[in-house]
Amino acid sequence: MPATIKAVHPVLMARDVNESVAFFARLGFASVFLDSPAAPRYACVRRDGVELHLQWHDAADFPPGLDRPTYRFYVDDVDSLFADFAAAGGLSPSSAVRDTAWGTREFHLHDPAANGLQFYQAT
């Protein structure tokens, strides 16, 4: 019997791990692991079974004009989640919930390291 892949845990680049952990805390992610409480260079946050890892990178790893990765999160109620994030102060000013031509309802934002975060549901 072949092995089963159980989950994927993306590792997001972070310029400041504490800042990224605080950002994700505003989005309802709990801190699970910090490699150093005082000056972390690696952390793990989790919400509703979704686990993200945050790893420090030097400023040289963030050259101007280079696209950052984007992560998509499938959710059950995108409008409610948007309202929760807005109330917590976790949204960028350009975020908006919208219906797409490909049959989803979604909104997008960026974390402090400019990683793209897209939250969507099927319509």
The whole-number pLDDT of residue 69 equals 87
The whole-number pLDDT of residue 26 equals 94
- Whether 118 and 71 have beta carbons less than 8 Å apart is answered as yes
The whole-number pLDDT of residue 66 equals 73
The whole-number pLDDT of residue 93 equals 65
**What residue segments make up the domains of the chain, in order of their start?**
11-58+68-122
What 3-state class would DSSP assign to 87? Answer: helix
The pLDDT profile of the chain, 123 residues, written as one tens digit per residue, is: 899 999 999 999 999 999 999 999 999 999 999 999 999 999 999 999 999 999 999 988 887 777 788 999 999 999 999 999 999 887 776 678 999 999 999 999 999 998 999 999 999
- Whether 52 and 44 have beta carbons less than 8 Å apart is answered as yes
User: DSSP letters along 9-52, please?
Assistant: --EEEES-HHHHHHHHHHTTPEEEEES-SSS-SEEEEEETTEEE
Fold that domain 11-58+68-122 belongs to in CATH:
2,3-Dihydroxybiphenyl 1,2-Dioxygenase; domain 1 (3.10.180)
Nearest to 32 by CA among 18, 51, 14: 51
Specify the pTM.
Answer: 0.91
Residue 48 is encoded by which pair of tokens? Answer: 């509703």
